[in-house]
A and B are shown apart, each in its own frame.
Chain A
């Protein structure tokens, strides 16, 4: 029987770590992810797991030691947020290009400056080109489920890529919600024993990791990483299917909410999807207008064709970015979703909004206004407030 609990997102990740019992966890405190290593340290202190914790002196060293441990043949994990991940930046690339199946619990938080501890996606969106698989969550349940699924995805021999399991700082990480936990033995069986093929501590071979490679090799290496990312698409869906059989909870590249007949759609990532769903229910029940939502779960690899297909029949779309990229135009999600739609010759009007930067609230009525704008856009065939902000004091 599944276990009914009430946990925060950080507790849910820590609990999954306890169930998986990874070999090595180097980590460094940073708000709002600090609780994850704290909980793990407690499990270790009480003999509940035999994970070795490395008390590194920085996040750069956290990811460096995670890379070392993973290359050595250990199942290695870490957790961080915001500036902590920014300090890891170089190592994110190393982990991915060395093809190490590391799992990073990222609690999304705005990047400095000014220093701000609240949720936005500037940390992970900045790392979108680092070669990591990125999986996002709306709720505690999804964080927990994504975290468990991350291991069989990362460790699949056709993938061998690190996975970033993202949740929104404080909103998800500290908000306590009902959650269904999976029994320990089922989690262990689902994740399986880690059996690397090539590793530094292998008795049967000597290996060398991390060469200098001249331009004659670099481009081919990057092509190999691309292939792994392409392979990850299939593996992510296979793992989700297996997970659904175990739990009944269904996952894909994204969730389509009331999209079956939707004329106006929002595309969003993370916890604000819950607020948007409330708006959809309210609009549909009061006006009958056909509004829907696409909530991106997997941002890397980017499900381009699938998103375009899901938006094929809508009249107008609002793509919601929780981070700037200072192009003076789109945010990262806006740019990629629009590129996908262009490629598919989509007819819909598109608008790109920035919202929730540095933890700024977004409300049900904000989403209602978004849908009103979409309706106007569909009538006039002009974008209203392209690249506008939601909740900005004007």
Chain B
């Protein structure tokens, strides 16, 4: 169950955790910041050489890497800043206008 199904802006005071502590890790994963995008990075896995230079520059931890290879973008959290597209030496990431509605 996502965190906002338990604690949200309609919760009565009795449901607010003591001292506002949160007793679990990384609950922000349940929050969608992908809606902020005005342009969307598109990954071309054919052009991608898996050099991974794009992965550490992402401010939103939205380029997951598994066993030395990057996966597709985490569009729920990517804000579309475009840093990854700029650092790609192989033109394997391009920016498309809009937030890419199909993802939501």
Q: B19's contact among A97, A216, A227, by CB below 8 Å, is which?
A: A97
Separation of A289 and B18 alpha carbons in the complex (Å) = 51
How far is it, in angstroms, between the C-alpha of A205 and the C-alpha of B27 when the chains are bound?
13
SS of B interface (majority): loop
Q: CB-defined interface of A97-137 with B at 8 Å, one 1/0 digit per residue? A: 11110000000000000000000000000000000000000
Q: Which candidate, B8-16, B42-50, B62-70, B82-90, is the interface stretch facing chain A?
A: B8-16
Distance A221 CA – B14 CA, assembled complex (angstroms): 9
- Min CB gap B31→A, angstroms: 13
The number of chain B residues with a CB under 8 A from chain A is 14
Given contacts A216-B9, A217-B9, contact A224 B16 (CB under 8 A): yes
Query: Chain B residues near A392 (CB, 8 Å)?
Result: none
> CB-CB < 8 A to A213: which residues of B?
20
Interface centre among A99, A213, A224, A227 (most CB of B within 10 A): A224
B59: shortest Cβ distance to chain A, in Å?
Answer: 18
Contact check: which of B14, B20, B21, B23 meets A217 at CB < 8 Å? B20
Which residues of chain B in 1-53 are interfacial with respect to chain A, using CB atoms and an 8 Å cutoff? Answer: 9, 11-14, 16, 18-25
Other-chain contact of B21, A207, A219, A220, A223 (Cβ < 8 Å):
A207
Q: Smallest CB-CB separation from B12: which chain A residue?
A: A220
Contacting pair B18 A207 (CB below 8 A)? no
Which of A97, A160, A211, A227 has a CB less than 8 Å from the CB of B22? A211
Which range holds the interface residue count of chain A? 20 to 34
A211 vs B24: C-alpha distance in the bound complex, in angstroms?
A: 13
Contact B16 A198 (CB under 8 A): no
List the A side residues contacting B19 at CB < 8 Å.
97-100, 160, 209
User: Which residues of A are found within 8 Å of B20, using beta-carbon distances?
Assistant: 97-98, 210-211, 213, 217, 221
Which residues from chain B contact A198 at a C-beta distance below 8 Å? 18, 21, 23
Residues of A within 8 A of B13 (CB): 219-221, 223-224, 227
The distance in angstroms between the C-alpha atoms of A224 and B20, with both chains bound, is: 10
| In the complex, chain B residues whose CB is within 8 Å of the CB of A223 | 13
The contact string, 1 if C-beta is below 8 Å from chain B, for chain A 379-394, is: 0000000000000000
Residue A245 at the chain B interface, CB threshold 8 Å: no
Query: Given contacts A160-B18, A221-B20, could you give 18 more A-B pairs where the C-beta distance is less than 8 Å?
Result: A99-B18, A99-B21, A100-B19, A160-B19, A198-B21, A198-B23, A206-B24, A207-B22, A207-B23, A208-B25, A209-B19, A209-B21, A211-B22, A213-B20, A216-B9, A217-B9, A217-B16, A220-B11
15 interchain pairs (CB within 8 A)?
Answer: A97-B20, A160-B18, A198-B23, A208-B25, A209-B19, A211-B22, A217-B9, A217-B16, A217-B20, A219-B13, A220-B12, A220-B16, A223-B13, A224-B13, A224-B14
